[in-house]
Structure 1
Amino acid sequence: MHGFLLVYAIMLLKSDFESIDVKLGYNSCDQGLVFSFGTHGDVYCPPRKRSRICGPCFVGGDSISKAKKPSIDALPDECLFEIFRRLPGGRERSASACVSKRWLTILSSVRISAPFVANFPTDKSSNRGVECISSTEGVLECDGYLTRCVEGKKATDLRLAAIAVGTSTRGGLGKLSIRGSNSVRGVTNNGLSAIAHCCPSLRALSLWNLHSVGDEGLFEISRNCHSLDKLDLSECSSISNTGLAAIAKSCPNLSSLMIESCPRIGDEGLQAIGRYCPKLQSVTIKDCPLVGDQGVASLVSSGSKVLSKVKLQGLDVTDYSVAVIGRYGNRITNLVLGGLQNVSQKGFWVMGNARGLHMLSTLAVTSCRGVTDLSLEALGKGCPNLKHVSIRKCCSVSDLGMVAFSKAASLLESLQLEECDRVTQMGFLNAISISNSTLKSVSLVKCLGIKDVRMDSPLFSPCQSLRSLSVRSCPGFGSASLALVGKLCPKLHSLDLSGLNGITDTCLIPLLESCETGLSKVNLSGCSNLSDEIVLALFRLHGRTLELVNLDGCKKITDASLVALVESCPLLNDLDVSRCSITDTGVAALARGLQPNLQILSLSGCSNVSDRSVPALEKLGRRLVGLNLQHCCSITSSKIEFLSENLWRCDILS
């Protein structure tokens, strides 16, 4: 009886497909269909006209009424499921998905064991409540896999079902990102289940801000997507250790894990990852209150063979966790630690002295009170391959720690200090001088302990290797500091002094004159006391090598600087004169010059640039790829529209 019912339903479905094919532009007059019924054998339906199936007649009085033609929609979902899972190819599945939301939902619950290879229909005219075809338009191929990202209002179960069924004809999605959720019809476990059923080759899954997706959704992913190697979970409040453990047990190829702001995930889930995922290479855990020492320790010690990137932020862990990292992190090359308030000086000291981080090359520490002079020196000695270091908001680090660390870290290439207020001018310059053969980049940001003190330059040795220097928003950094830096760093290529309101033309010129090899990138934004004099000196000394100049907020800079630029800077490709005293005359001079490499020009906030500059901007725009005209109140909207229409290659901000 069951087999007869299926045969009857297939006959009806065949008729429906013929009508669907006509609407989708298919020619099926020469094709037959073969349907597999498992142990019941195959049934061949040859090409034929629509069958006429008449129901019984009912005679009542003097009228005869005929029953309506039977429809496949009258079958229960269970029968439709059995039919759909026997469809021979992707074309039939796609056509069926275009019939109704009900059919789409049922099709999305059919598990795919092997990728379909079929032509995918592109008809968008159907409005029968299904978006199966159009929802796959945004699917891109990245790294050899189909990739899709749905955000905000577009993140619904129906859209995920459409994507799942649609991409199943091309092997299924390889990467999926769901960001945010529709507040009315948001993504639930059903949507994630549809992806799991139709996309068994899924490799990467990112779920952000999805409070309606729980462990059930991850269960389906674990049952069907055994090739998963990247999982990102952020602000998923309904996912717990149980769901994460299911992924761990069924996805042994997992190599990247990111968990952020998931309040129900803790040590148990991380222990499962450490136990069942031997290929884990990168792990990020941030702001998860249930994560403690046991989870972190298990994860690091179990994955010590291949684990290379670890990022721990805002966790309630103690000295034990960082000590385990120092002991078992023999493959870790990149380590980021932030907001670990319960880790003391002893923990970081042990991490360095455990001597297990011999491959560590990049270390970033933020807001950790346990980072002191003593522990910083231990890290320098215990990490012999350390090359890139960032220390932010660590108030216990002073000059002594910086000097000791610079001596210990013999291969140090880049150093960033931010909001380390106990570091003074002496410690900063000593760190540069000590690392005189390897250090290439130094950044100093918002360090209020820097005070301008005159010193004798023989106290320091020049750093011949330093190529990039950035001193931003350090109000105590003045003329004396700049003069010393100029003598210590003769090989600079990149100079960033943004936000130093106190520096003047007089104190900056010696630094420019000390740079022997020519500057290529100069950022002086926010240096409101600089005038045309320093810009003319910059162009005179380094015009032949300059590629980027940022003068944003230098209100004393006038058209004279642009006139000098035209004659001196043939390689310049990025110029920012926002909020400067630039007028139409300066823009016209810039347009008359030969600047073949100029690609980005910013005039934001230049109120003296008016509609008279439009012809010059149009000429410049033929070479530009970016033009910023925001807050140029003297340029009318009609002229902005004119430029936008004529400069199709240039991205104009207005």
Structure 2
Amino acid sequence: MKRHDLINTTLPDELILEIFTHLEESKPTCDSCSLVCKRWLRLERLNRQTLRIGATGNPNEFIKVLIQKFFNVRNVYFDERLPIHQFRHSKISKSRKKSRKRRRNRSGGSFTELYSSESEASDLEVSTLTDSGLIALAEIGRLEKLSLIWCSSVTSVGLISIAEKCRTLKSLDLQGCYVGNEGLAAVGQCCKQLEELNLRFCEGMSDTGLVELATGCGKSLIALSVAACANITDISLQAVGSHCISLQTLALDSEFIRNSGVVSVAQGCPLLKVLKLQCINVTDEALLAVATCCFSLELLALNSFQRFTDRSLCAIGNGCKKLKNLTLSDCYFLTEKSLEAIGSGCSQLTHLEVNGCHNIGTSGIESIGKSCAGLLELALLYCQRIGNYALLEVGTGCKLLQALHLVDCTGIGDEAIRSIAEGCKNLKKLHIRRCYEVGDTGIIAIGENCKYLEDLSLRYCDRVGDDALIAVGQGCSLRQLNVSGCHQIGDAGIMAIARGCSQLVYLDISVLQNLGDIALAELGEGCPLIRDVVLSHCRKITDVGLSHLAKKCTLLETCHMVYCPFVTSAGVATVVSSCVNLKKVLVEKWKASERTKRRAESILSYLCVDL
């Protein structure tokens, strides 16, 4: 019956709340529910468990408002890296201010918006979260996850209040906070269920605090991250090894950690599954202990090690049979012997990244291709000694490969790419950058064989031209395409993509000197779902082509168009007026007219300022 509310007159509160629990827990979804009616607003506030907060005008007051509106919050994520939004009320009519205030009061919108509507101040004074806000937040009592990223004004006083009143806390992220040892010790004494702890860039802490935490709640701790903490040394890791028997994830980035700390963790934490190390003073001895004791290890990331040798990786290959994910970055003394050992010993490997390891050659990747049939992702970055034969073996042996990343691999060309295309038909992502031996032949093979390809990036591959994109457009349904700097690509290639890839949402065609308006017109007709487009340094594009694209691609959110000499202020105005979802437009400042600035100043970004 028209105007008859069947839901609210029939369903009790309990059933509507149960329905809410099955909805996706995201802010847009929750806000949409709360806007239906006052009853749903009240019920949604009872149901919402997660709050994500960026920088605000007055964060302490913001917290007090939130805990009055949302009673059952369990997870709070506070990140002061997120920008504060400023509203200029002199440019907003009174009627718009009143309607905005009503809508945001009903939806429980951000305090920044509420505060700006009520105060009618042109700018908001930016401040940071302090202990006062944390003390108010502690009143929630049943908090389970708390993230305080770069909240530099928070001290141990606020953290002690959280620890004493939120004893069910399971996850604590203090990245970039200057909380001292007293706060960390209080968490150890009170939060016996703590499972995750992030201490990245916590310069105010030392061994004293972390040792007390490990002693107090070490039995429940599952994940620990430490980075750039000058006063946390091997003493802390020895305590972790002694008390944290359930530890599964450890990430360390420190020049003060040495072998003894890592060895202690390896010997005391047999359940360790994830180990990420960037510790320049750690040597083979530490990894030998990991290989001997951590038989459950699944992910190993070694970054910037100049003291590791093949001896370490050979031991890992012999001992860690469950290893699935391996990252080797700037490990200069590792050779292909390391990968040969990994290939023969870790047959369950699914992800491999080799980045800047200049002594690893073709035979190491060949071993992976022969032994690791379940490989899903392979990244070879700045590997000058790896040639075509490496990928020939991968194409033959790794039929399940879904993602391949190649950067500055000068020894890899069309023969290798063709082998991947013919053997790895499930490929979904292919990223190639500055591999100058890769041309049309290899990419045509990709288009003919890899029907599931969704993400293709061919940045600065000079030998790739229109024929390659025509094959891709005919054979694949791409969602993301980046051909920045591929000078041989022109209108024909991009038109083929427009006709064959109707689901395209991201496009980077910057630095294509031969691309003209006809290609943009085809993109507008064939790819209406595009949300992000980069057109910078396209010297033949004019306002006409840009107009066709903007009027058809109404979902556009970001547009970069600097150094396009035939795009004028009229073209910029067309984009701004046609695409209501725009969040960012990058353009030269002089191309933004006064009217465009008045209409969309908040989304305009400029390459340079007036001299």
* TM-score where L is the length of structure 1: 0.68
Matched position secondary structure for 2:571: helix
What's the counterpart of residue 381 of structure 2?
445
What's the counterpart of residue 341 of structure 1?
280
Q: How many residues align?
A: 499
In the TM superposition, 1:499-578 aligns within 5 A as 499-505=434-440, 508=442, 511-512=445-446, 515=449, 519-540=453-474, 542-543=475-476, 545-570=477-502, 572-578=504-510
Could you tell me whether the CA contact under 8 Å between 1:498 and 1:526 is conserved in 2? yes
Give the 3 Å change call, closer, same or farther, for CA 529–517 of structure 1 in structure 2: closer
Task: Check if 1:147 corresponds to 2:43.
Answer: no
Give the 3 Å change call, closer, same or farther, for CA 191–391 of structure 1 in structure 2: same
In the TM superposition, 1:326-337 aligns within 5 A as 326-337=266-277
Could you tell me whether the CA contact under 8 Å between 2:517 and 2:540 is conserved in 1? yes
Inter-partner Cα distance in structure 2 for 1:617 and 1:379: 53
Inter-partner Cα distance in structure 1 for 2:129 and 2:533: 43
Task: Check if 1:308 corresponds to 2:253.
Answer: no
Matched position secondary structure for 1:606: coil
Could you tell me whether the CA contact under 8 Å between 1:273 and 1:299 is conserved in 2? no
AA at the equivalent of 1:349: L
Q: Choose the corresponding residue for 2:295, options 357, 363, 386.
A: 357
| Deviations 1:495-545 (CA, angstroms, capped at 9, x unpaired) | 221222343335x357538846564432111213322233234335x24x4
CA root-mean-square deviation: 3.5
Inter-partner Cα distance in structure 2 for 1:538 and 1:514: 7
Task: Check if 1:646 corresponds to 2:578.
Answer: yes
What's the counterpart of residue 380 of structure 1?
317
What's the counterpart of residue 569 of structure 2?
637
Could you tell me whether the CA contact under 8 Å between 2:417 and 2:446 is conserved in 1? no
In the TM superposition, 1:150-549 aligns within 5 A as 150-151=54-55, 154=57, 159-161=59-61, 163-164=63-64, 167-168=67-68, 170-171=70-71, 174=74, 175-177=76-78, 179=80, 187-196=129-138, 198-237=139-178, 239-277=179-217, 278-305=219-246, 307-338=247-278, 340-354=279-293, 356-358=294-296, 360-435=297-372, 437-450=373-386, 452=387, 462-479=397-414, 481-482=416-417, 489=424, 492-505=427-440, 508=442, 511-512=445-446, 515=449, 519-540=453-474, 542-543=475-476, 545-549=477-481
Matched position secondary structure for 1:634: coil
Give the 3 Å change call, closer, same or farther, for CA 429–564 of structure 1 in structure 2: same
Inter-partner Cα distance in structure 2 for 1:141 and 1:500: 53
Could you tell me whether the CA contact under 8 Å between 1:520 and 1:547 is conserved in 2? yes
| Deviations 1:198-257 (CA, angstroms, capped at 9, x unpaired) | 4333333333445543322323323333233222223334x3222210121122222211
Once the 2 structures are TM-superposed, how far is the Cα of residue 287 of structure 1 from its aligned partner? 1.1
Could you tell me whether the CA contact under 8 Å between 2:418 and 2:443 is conserved in 1? no
Give the 3 Å change call, closer, same or farther, for CA 272–378 of structure 1 in structure 2: same
Matched position secondary structure for 2:510: coil
Could you tell me whether the CA contact under 8 Å between 2:391 and 2:420 is conserved in 1? no
Inter-partner Cα distance in structure 1 for 2:418 and 2:313: 29
Could you tell me whether the CA contact under 8 Å between 2:60 and 2:132 is conserved in 1? no
| Deviations 1:432-452 (CA, angstroms, capped at 9, x unpaired) | 2332x21121110112333x5
AA at the equivalent of 1:443: A
Inter-partner Cα distance in structure 2 for 1:590 and 1:161: 48
AA at the equivalent of 1:535: L
What's the counterpart of residue 89 of structure 2?
none
AA at the equivalent of 1:468: A
Identity of aligned residues (%): 23
| Deviations 1:309-354 (CA, angstroms, capped at 9, x unpaired) | 221111522222222333333333322112x122111221121022
| Deviations 1:278-323 (CA, angstroms, capped at 9, x unpaired) | 3222211111122122211322442223x22221111522222222
Could you tell me whether the CA contact under 8 Å between 2:439 and 2:463 is conserved in 1? yes
Inter-partner Cα distance in structure 2 for 1:142 and 1:348: 49
Once the 2 structures are TM-superposed, how far is the Cα of residue 611 of structure 1 from its aligned partner? 1.4
Inter-partner Cα distance in structure 2 for 1:470 and 1:481: 13
| Deviations 1:582-612 (CA, angstroms, capped at 9, x unpaired) | 11122223344x4466555443332321111
Could you tell me whether the CA contact under 8 Å between 1:324 and 1:351 is conserved in 2? no
Could you tell me whether the CA contact under 8 Å between 1:262 and 1:288 is conserved in 2? yes
Once the 2 structures are TM-superposed, how far is the Cα of residue 460 of structure 1 from its aligned partner? 9.3
Matched position secondary structure for 1:475: coil
What's the counterpart of residue 584 of structure 1?
517
AA at the equivalent of 1:538: V
Once the 2 structures are TM-superposed, how far is the Cα of residue 491 of structure 1 from its aligned partner? 5.2
Inter-partner Cα distance in structure 1 for 2:493 and 2:176: 50
In the TM superposition, 1:103-118 aligns within 5 A as none
Could you tell me whether the CA contact under 8 Å between 2:306 and 2:332 is conserved in 1? yes
AA at the equivalent of 1:167: I
Once the 2 structures are TM-superposed, how far is the Cα of residue 272 of structure 1 from its aligned partner? 1.8
Give the 3 Å change call, closer, same or farther, for CA 520–341 of structure 1 in structure 2: same
| Deviations 1:165-185 (CA, angstroms, capped at 9, x unpaired) | 662464386415252799996
AA at the equivalent of 1:287: A
* TM-score where L is the length of structure 2: 0.72
Once the 2 structures are TM-superposed, how far is the Cα of residue 579 of structure 1 from its aligned partner? 2.0
Could you tell me whether the CA contact under 8 Å between 2:249 and 2:275 is conserved in 1? yes
Give the 3 Å change call, closer, same or farther, for CA 589–176 of structure 1 in structure 2: closer
Inter-partner Cα distance in structure 2 for 1:142 and 1:419: 51
Could you tell me whether the CA contact under 8 Å between 1:462 and 1:487 is conserved in 2? no
Give the 3 Å change call, closer, same or farther, for CA 556–290 of structure 1 in structure 2: same
Matched position secondary structure for 1:234: coil
Once the 2 structures are TM-superposed, how far is the Cα of residue 411 of structure 1 from its aligned partner? 0.5
AA at the equivalent of 2:314: E
Once the 2 structures are TM-superposed, how far is the Cα of residue 259 of structure 1 from its aligned partner? 0.7
AA at the equivalent of 2:226: I
Q: Which blocks of at least 5 consecutive residues in structure 2 are unaligned?
A: 1-40, 85-123, 587-611
Task: State which drifts further: 516-525 or 313-322.
Answer: 516-525
Could you tell me whether the CA contact under 8 Å between 2:448 and 2:472 is conserved in 1? no
Inter-partner Cα distance in structure 2 for 1:509 and 1:195: 55
Could you tell me whether the CA contact under 8 Å between 1:402 and 1:428 is conserved in 2? yes
Could you tell me whether the CA contact under 8 Å between 1:563 and 1:586 is conserved in 2? yes
Could you tell me whether the CA contact under 8 Å between 2:547 and 2:571 is conserved in 1? no
Inter-partner Cα distance in structure 2 for 1:163 and 1:459: 54
AA at the equivalent of 1:397: L
AA at the equivalent of 1:160: N
Inter-partner Cα distance in structure 1 for 2:571 and 2:388: 52
